[in-house]
Amino acid sequence: MTDGDDTDDAAPTASTPVERAKAALAAFEADGDASDSTSPPTESAPPTVAVAPGRVNLVGGHTDYNDGLCLPMAVDRHVAVAARPRSDDRLRVRAADFDETAELDPGDDPDGWAAYVAAVARVLREDDPIDGADLAIASDVPTGAGLSSSAALELSVGRALLAVSGRDLPAADLALACWRAEREGVGVECGILDQFSAALCEADSALFLDCRSRETESVPLGDGVGVLVIDTGVSHELTESGYNDRVRECAAALDSLREVADRDLDSLRDVDLALLDAHADALEPVHRRRVRHVVTENERVRNARDALAAGDLDRVGDAMLAAHDSLRDDYEVSCPELDAAVELAAETPGVYGARMTGGGFGGSAVALVDGDALDQAARAIRAAAPERVGPDADVFACRPSAGVRLVGEE
Ligand code: GAF
């Protein structure tokens, strides 16, 4: 990887990720290809541009790798990838926001952001060829904020690489390829929530996702609803947090339940409260709490889906608040700043409910707000956040957005 060159200096200042990615690609290509002057990029055609959104998860935390239920919503913040095919099989990748460049040959195994690009290319190459390409990436999804910037990167890179290679995949298949890329290439034992959200969410809707059947159902959010993100400014990193520990605790709890319960249990999805109560003594206390979270969280997702469909936003808000309590107390993936963000949101007029979103141990909280009170609630939370949540807290509204797409083909 080559760091810190100045290809972006020539790019005009541009505001959206799509504009910045296109400008960065043009500047990058104009800068030439020092490493292989025999394989110049193809500059005649306009670039292919793919965008994929970040997400918040309204309810359904840490259920996905237990075959459970989730209710995410893609946000109107995106990773954009501008791409053009090359005449060799190399990927030359410019991360405009980091001022960094990676040059990847098939089989390379880089670190950092380039690991996601290499892993997606590697998985997509298993079925059919992926052509070499110049890629430029720009984003307005904050990183480390629990908004799934990595899945947005994977999906946008994947969609762009398929397009420059003349290939296509159904969105769910691309999501599964990107999910494998994250697990195998980056080492996070994640579930499918983030990749399915970035692929399959629809505008103006939340997505009811059954992680066992992989069936999805869009649930319209309704015009009168606003969504606020409260980014605590405490960065979280799944590879370094207790995330994989939670995955292993669930697996261990499932093994214990299999031993004592006279029932087939494929996953914690097959466990209900009656079964848990009947065998609670056979479980270590920490495993009992983890299972209780997963079982009750699946129920909260069902409730929230039904309530959202019925326009009962108070009930959705109650499910979010109960979900946060469970993630804090039973699953132990919150942190003081997330708890403070949820508490602050919950006491703000117009807020139906709030909870931490994403893997936890930092990152963001999401709040569901009466649309008429959104601006006022955002101002109140923004004003109190530095003192109540932390000096780097950021508060912004977002709209439910569509999943990965090629720009120009929306
Ligand atoms: C992270 C993971 F990547 C998801 O798979 C999911 O488990 C989430 O944390 C918690 O719900 O975003």
Angle of CA points 36, 37, 40, to nearest 5°:
100
For residue 39, pLDDT beyond 60? no
CB of 162 within 8 A of CB of 174? Answer: yes
Rounded mean pLDDT, 108-118: 94
**Least reliable range by pLDDT among 47-51, 92-96, 109-113:** 109-113
Looking at ligand 1, which residue's alpha carbon is closest to its atom 1? 359
| DSSP assignment string, 162-211 | HHHTT----HHHHHHHHHHIIIIII-----SHHHHHHHH--TTEEEEEET
d(CA 251, CA 318): 29
Confidence tier at 93 by pLDDT (50, 70, 90): very high
Ligand 1 centroid from CA 195, angstroms: 10
- The verdict on the CB of residue 297 being under 6 Å from ligand 1 is no
For residue 6, pLDDT beyond 70? no
d(CA 194, CA 107): 25
Confidence tier at 410 by pLDDT (50, 70, 90): low
Query: Could you give the percent of the chain with pLDDT greater than 90?
Result: 87
Residue 253: predicted pLDDT: 97
What would the two tokens of residue 10 be?
């020539």
- The verdict on the CB of residue 149 being under 6 Å from ligand 1 is no
Ligand 1 centroid from CA 304, angstroms: 19
Residue 187: predicted pLDDT: 84
What would the two tokens of residue 339 be?
């708890």
- The answer to whether the pTM exceeds 0.85 is yes
Confidence tier at 241 by pLDDT (50, 70, 90): confident
Residue 38: predicted pLDDT: 41
- Fold classification of 17-55+71-219 is Ribosomal Protein S5; domain 2 (3.30.230)
For residue 403, pLDDT beyond 80? yes
Q: Which listed residue (194, 231, 330, 339) is catalytic?
A: 194
Confidence tier at 186 by pLDDT (50, 70, 90): confident
Angle of CA points 210, 212, 214, to nearest 5°:
55
Angle of CA points 26, 28, 31, to nearest 5°:
110
Confidence tier at 304 by pLDDT (50, 70, 90): very high
For residue 36, pLDDT beyond 50? no
For residue 346, pLDDT beyond 90? yes
Looking at ligand 1, which residue's alpha carbon is closest to its atom 2? 190
Angle of CA points 247, 251, 252, to nearest 5°:
115
Ligand 1 centroid from CA 87, angstroms: 37
- The verdict on the CB of residue 62 being under 6 Å from ligand 1 is yes
Q: Residue 26: enclosing H or E segment and its boundaries?
A: helix 17-30
Q: Residue 257: enclosing H or E segment and its boundaries?
A: helix 243-260
Q: Residue 317: enclosing H or E segment and its boundaries?
A: helix 313-329
Q: Which atom of ligand 1 is nearest to the CA of 61?
A: 11
**Which one, of 95, 93, 76, 116, lies nearest residue 20 by Cα?**
95
| DSSP assignment string, 325-372 | HHHHHTS----HHHHHHHHHHHTSTTEEEEEEESS-SSSEEEEEEEGG
Coil, helix or strand at residue 135:
strand
Rounded mean pLDDT, 94-110: 95
Confidence tier at 185 by pLDDT (50, 70, 90): confident
- Fold classification of 225-398 is Alpha-Beta Plaits (3.30.70)
Q: Which of 56, 71, 243, 355 to mutate to test the pocket of ligand 1 (most atoms within 8 A of CB)?
A: 243
- Annotated catalytic, 312? no
Q: What is the DSSP letter of 251?
A: H
Return left, alpha or beta for 269; rule: phi > 0 is left, psi -120 to 50 is alpha, else beta. alpha
Residue with tokens 């914690």: 268
> What is the pairing mode between strands 2-3 and 100-104?
antiparallel
Confidence tier at 33 by pLDDT (50, 70, 90): low
- The verdict on the CB of residue 154 being under 6 Å from ligand 1 is no
CB of 204 within 8 A of CB of 364? Answer: no
For residue 263, pLDDT beyond 70? yes
Confidence tier at 4 by pLDDT (50, 70, 90): very low
- Indicate the domain borders of the chain: 17-55+71-219, 225-398
**Least reliable range by pLDDT among 23-37, 44-58, 95-109:** 23-37
For residue 2, pLDDT beyond 60? no
d(CA 63, CA 295): 9
Looking at residue 294, its amino acid is V
Ligand 1 centroid from CA 60, angstroms: 10
Coil, helix or strand at residue 68:
coil
Rounded mean pLDDT, 136-161: 97
Coil, helix or strand at residue 76:
strand
For residue 9, pLDDT beyond 60? no
Query: Could you give the percent of the chain with pLDDT greater than 70?
Result: 93
**Which one, of 334, 340, 342, 336, lies nearest residue 359 by Cα?**
334
Per the prediction, the chain carries an average pLDDT of 92
d(CA 103, CA 90): 7
- The verdict on the CB of residue 61 being under 6 Å from ligand 1 is yes
**Least reliable range by pLDDT among 23-37, 246-260, 312-326, 331-345:** 23-37
**Which one, of 304, 345, 320, 41, lies nearest residue 164 by Cα?**
41
Residue 155: predicted pLDDT: 98
Confidence tier at 296 by pLDDT (50, 70, 90): very high
